[in-house]
């Protein structure tokens, strides 16, 4: 009996040490992120998004709503776990217009993003989508306590021209009529994303974790749309990996980092760094 009690005590001590080890890691990461400048955190989102265009190309053969169901649901799970762990679900009580802006800015924007790559050449579509930092710089001056100077406009214009030069290739930049829908989707995507980013800056007190709930709503709406308008297409293992990447990083972690950076960092610098 004494031996069994000793064994139980040792196991309990070992499990306690393991738990404390993981808690210390979590505490270290939390403190590191807290001390990290908000603009840097926002820039990390841009690093993740730099891979999103190539990811979208690899899943272009799949129905859009089917993809959105899975990616949004993964993003929702991340926020749901965090909200449950921190017991902060009550912080999500927000006015109705906040939910409308959030769902349109993230979920509807993501729909147009994927549709653009399905209906147009990746290079041209990417250029049109990357009008959003220019839109953001031109409009951010309308926000309270925000001033735009010519150096900001010059910097973002230089960045856009650089993107244009890198993508036009030997044949120049031409928009053919065959892919006009793709270009239109890309332009709507750019407008929605710049508008959402402005609203995130304006409504600074809205908790960042609400983004995952936007994605949960988007996943449910996408499920209804998929069952109504689409037929299920079995993705390959590689496409499932791409979808997981988009859900966890592009629609999950990156949106959270961007929201934090926009609300507490230098929004003008983030717009310029987007290029």
| CB-based contacts of 150, cutoff 8 Å, min separation 6 | none
134 and 4 inside one domain = no
| Average pLDDT value for residue range 209-236 | 95
17-21, 239-243, 267-271 — which one is most confidently predicted on average?
Answer: 239-243
106 and 6 inside one domain = no
> How far is the C-alpha of 19 from the C-alpha of 81, rounded, in Å?
18
- The yes-or-no verdict on residue 159 having pLDDT over 90 is no
Across the chain, what does the average pLDDT equal? 86
106 and 58 inside one domain = yes
Q: What is the pLDDT of residue 66?
A: 97
80 and 170 inside one domain = yes
Of 37, 2, 11, 47, the residue nearest 249 (C-alpha): 47
What percent of the chain lies above the pLDDT cut of 70? 84
1 and 115 inside one domain = no
22 and 43 inside one domain = no
> How far is the C-alpha of 250 from the C-alpha of 183, rounded, in Å?
22
Q: What is the pLDDT of residue 5?
A: 44
CB-neighbour burial class of residue 8 (10 A; exposed 0-12, middle 13-18, buried 19+): exposed
> How far is the C-alpha of 254 from the C-alpha of 57, rounded, in Å?
19
80 and 17 inside one domain = no
> How far is the C-alpha of 63 from the C-alpha of 222, rounded, in Å?
11
| Average pLDDT value for residue range 201-207 | 92
57 and 184 inside one domain = yes
CB-neighbour burial class of residue 211 (10 A; exposed 0-12, middle 13-18, buried 19+): buried
Its pTM stands at 0.80
**Number of domains present in the structure of the chain:** 2
> Tell me: the pLDDT tens digits for 66-119?
999 999 999 999 889 888 988 889 888 999 999 999 999 999 999 999 999 999
- The yes-or-no verdict on residue 7 having pLDDT over 50 is no
> Tell me: the pLDDT tens digits for 10-63?
445 655 665 565 455 445 445 545 546 899 999 999 999 988 888 998 999 999
Q: What is the pLDDT of residue 164?
A: 79
The DSSP code for 247 is I
31 and 159 inside one domain = no
For residue 26, give its domain range: 1-35
221 and 97 inside one domain = yes
| Average pLDDT value for residue range 194-217 | 94
> How far is the C-alpha of 215 from the C-alpha of 224, rounded, in Å?
14
Q: What is the pLDDT of residue 169?
A: 59
221 and 253 inside one domain = yes
269 and 199 inside one domain = yes
């Amino acid at each position: 009996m004494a031996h069994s009690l000793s064994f139980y005590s040792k196991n309990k001590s070992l499990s306690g040490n393991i738990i404390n080890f993981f808690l210390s890691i979590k505490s270290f990461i939390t403190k590191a992120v807290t001390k990290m400048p908000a603009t840097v955190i926002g820039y990390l989102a841009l690093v993740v998004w730099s891979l999103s265009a190539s990811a979208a190309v690899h899943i272009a053969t799949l129905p859009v709503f089917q993809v959105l169901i899975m990616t949004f649901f993964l993003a929702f799970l991340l926020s749901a776990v965090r909200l449950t762990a921190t017991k902060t679900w009550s912080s999500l009580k927000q006015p109705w217009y906040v939910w409308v802006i959030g769902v349109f800015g993230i979920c509807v924007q993501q729909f147009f993003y994927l549709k653009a790559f399905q209906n147009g050449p990746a290079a041209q579509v990417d250029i049109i989508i990357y009008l959003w930092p220019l839109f953001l710089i031109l409009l951010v001056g309308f926000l309270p306590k925000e001033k735009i100077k010519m150096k900001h406009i010059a910097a973002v214009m230089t960045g856009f021209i650089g993107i244009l030069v890198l993508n036009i290739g030997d044949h120049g930049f031409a928009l053919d009529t065959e892919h006009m829908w793709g270009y239109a989707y890309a332009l709507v995507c750019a407008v929605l994303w710049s508008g959402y980013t402005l609203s995130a800056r304006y409504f600074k007190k809205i908790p960042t974790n609400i983004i995952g709930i936007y994605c949960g709503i988007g996943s449910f709406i996408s499920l209804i749309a998929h069952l109504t308008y689409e037929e299920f297409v079995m993705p390959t293992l590689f496409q499932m990996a791409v979808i997981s990447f988009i859900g966890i990083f592009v629609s999950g972690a990156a949106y959270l980092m961007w929201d934090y950076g926009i609300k507490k960092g230098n929004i003008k610098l983030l717009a310029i760094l987007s290029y």
